[in-house]
Chain A
């Protein structure tokens, strides 16, 4: 108790710094995955990707980032175990932030596609297991996370498969694919806008103090979707199509229409990523702040301090702006044959999965959903070739990340104990 009273503001500052570093790492690394397909299919440039990501990552974090925060903060460990020793929870959360941030750094340096979500969860489990005992860990939740390694990619893969197949049926098999694309693509735009708006309204707006009934919510979501679709339609109708570029099927021009859609899915993806992954950085930070402010009392439902969400959002954007450029640039050149229509199916599916999962409070990883979505499009025979070796290495990294985060956080936890005790 005295420790919290004496060092309270110091601990908050340390936690805030580490939280920011963590968010920075998320922005710098994960964004390559979230935005990469858009850049890879040449639908948007790197510069546009960064601007889109900045706006929508921040919006996602701020408007819809709250629900997941709770899960990470309270779901994984039983906070009741810390009632008598709240300082241990504070140290632990700081250690967890530092551990996850460090792991992210190591992994990024080596080019491993780790899940930021799982690194923070692993880290929290690690210190909880040594700080209080293994009984403090909600193992049921952990097994749920392990289950999500299979379920999330599967859901996202199925979404991607059906989105791609529907595009094939409606557009590519049509008598006149270009006309069909102009007709149906606004429909996809509506879906993207609707889905994004719905989750923001239903799950996110509470955090900024707006409440509305579910009917109101649906009306708003539908109208936002319509606005997105109408704006999209206008852009598409102004699109210059090149009559010389068509062979038999006009696909070059169809892809141009999809490129417009790709901009919207890129926005969705950034939004979904922000809403889900900002929690990784701010969850532990919020826990620290709430314990210190309440003088060691671990309340059942802590208010999120006003500056925490923006801090996480800013961290992501900063990491993105400073480091993301490099990451995306290497990607833009590396891929063969990812057209806007294929990338679109993968991204919309991934974004939908993340946003829906974010709404249910399940801490899934953007990496997982994207892998699943890309595989789904591949299964629909849309992507020319997939490297299954990389799929294997990604899955291995999911498994390794939990113990790695745990081990690091145990080390940092003992170091912090040694310093402050």
Chain B
């Protein structure tokens, strides 16, 4: 009886699901910390378990992404551009993919982290995860942005957050340079192929922050339309 009443007008909003999606993505990334802790202790069984957690969260994010896409057919009128939502979603999703990829490569090759690198590496990882967390926080402002009609003080707040995200990403770049230098000094003592892969992993972790920055940039574009 009520299938078609006025309330049928209200389509499923993409705003909240976008927030839910990045929250899962962020949780997925956070999984890298216990994963690398296990790797440092060379506890491969535990690492495999942690890697499964990451993979499950990534799958969950994928499922949510599909749901959102399916719900955004052409007949939906939204406060933001449809293409912007889809782009933002894609960028968000790539963060989770990257996290899964990193853990997969590490576990697949049972790669060991040189202990001398450990402290620096974990700090670097933590800072990159700060970036994904910041992106999550910014996306979580969407609800409030909607409330203010995408203008005013709320927009300034998001702008500030994206700026902070920018700064964090800069920092991770510097950290990456330092960590590569240190690895270079160590590389003679480790297996060359392993060293190559370690470079890859370091870069991939840096990409988490890059990707988080892209999410922030898309969010800004979305607001300013």
- Residues of A bordering B, CB below 8 Å: 29, 32-33, 36-37, 40, 108-109, 111-113, 164-165, 168, 172-173, 175, 247-249, 251, 326-327, 330-331, 334-339, 341, 367, 370-371, 374, 378, 380-394
Beta-carbon contact of A36 and B147 below 8 Å: no
Instruction: List, in ascending order, chain A residues with CB within 8 A of B148's CB.
Output: 168, 172-173
CA distance A371 to B157 in the complex (A): 33
Count of B interface residues, CB-CB < 8 Å: 35
Q: Which A-B residue pairs are the 8 nearest by beta carbons?
A: A384-B13, A173-B152, A387-B11, A381-B79, A111-B3, A389-B75, A385-B11, A111-B4
Q: Assess whether B144 is in contact with A113, with CB atoms less than 8 Å apart.
A: no
Q: Which of B1-51 contact A (CB under 8 A)?
A: 1-16
Decide if B77 touches A388 in the complex (CB within 8 Å).
yes
- In the assembled complex, the CB of B68 is this many whole angstroms from the nearest CB of chain A, namely 11
Known: A165-B149, A382-B149. 7 other contacts (CB 8 A): A32-B5, A247-B140, A326-B1, A336-B13, A385-B14, A390-B8, A390-B9
Which residues of chain B are near A36, meaning CB under 8 Å? 5-7
- Given A173-B153, A385-B12, the answer on whether A33 and B79 have CB atoms closer than 8 Å is no
How close is B1's CB to chain A, nearest CB, in angstroms? 6
Q: B150 contacts A386, CB within 8 Å?
A: no
For residue A359, give the distance in angstroms from its CB to the closest CB of chain B: 23
Q: Interface residues of B: mostly helix, strand, loop or mixed?
A: loop
Q: How many A-B residue pairs have CB under 8 A?
A: 152
Complex alpha-carbon distance, A387 and B73, angstroms: 9
Whether B149 and A388, one on each chain, are in contact in the complex, defined by CB atoms closer than 8 angstroms, is: no
Smallest CB gap from A165: residue in B = B149
* A36 to B8 alpha-carbon distance, docked (Å): 11
* Docked CA distance A408–B157 (Å): 59
Q: A173-B148, A389-B75 are in contact. Are A383 and B10 (CB under 8 A)?
A: yes
Interface pair A247/B144, CB less than 8 Å apart: yes
Looking at the complex, which one of A249, A327, A386 makes contact with B1 (CB distance below 8 Å)?
A: A327
Interface secondary structure of A, over-half rule? helix
The chain A residue sitting closest to B79, CB to CB, is A381
Question: Which B residues are in CB contact (< 8 Å) with A29?
Answer: 1
Say yes or no: B10 contacts A385, CB within 8 Å: yes
Contact in complex: A248, B6 (CB < 8 Å): no
Q: Kindly state the separation between the CA atoms of A27 and B5 in the bound complex, as whole angstroms.
A: 14
Interface residues of B in 103-133 (CB under 8 A from A): none
Report B-chain residues with C-beta under 8 Å of the C-beta of A32: 1-2, 5-7
Report Cα–Cα, A83/B46, bound state, in Å. 94
B69: Cβ under 8 A from any A Cβ = no
Q: Which residues of B contact A330 (CB under 8 A)?
A: 1-3
With contact pairs A168-B152, A336-B13, A384-B146 given, residues A112 and B6 touching in the complex (Cβ less than 8 Å):
no
Are B4 and A112 interface neighbours, CB within 8 A?
yes
Q: By the criterion CB–CB under 8 Å, are B1 and A109 in contact? A: yes
List 5 contacting pairs A-B, 8 Å CB cutoff, sorted by A: A36-B6, A330-B1, A384-B79, A385-B14, A394-B4
In this assembly, does B177 line the interface, its C-beta being within 8 Å of a C-beta of chain A?
no
- A40 contacts B146, CB within 8 Å? no
Instruction: Kindly state whether residue B76 has any CB partner on chain A within 8 Å.
Output: yes
A40 CA to B143 CA, complexed, in Å: 17
Q: Report the bound CA distance from A392 to B6 in whole Å.
A: 12
Interfacial chain B residues near A394, Cβ < 8 Å: 4, 6, 9
Contacts of B2 in A (CB 8 A): 32, 111, 327, 330-331, 334
Residue of B nearest to A374 (CB): B9
Instruction: Check if A381 sits within 8 Å of B146, measured CB to CB.
Output: yes
Q: Please indicate the chain A residues that have their CB under 8 angstroms from the CB of B153 in the complex.
A: 173, 175, 249
CB-defined contacts of B157 to chain A, threshold 8 Å? 248-249
Contacts of B143 in A (CB 8 A): 251
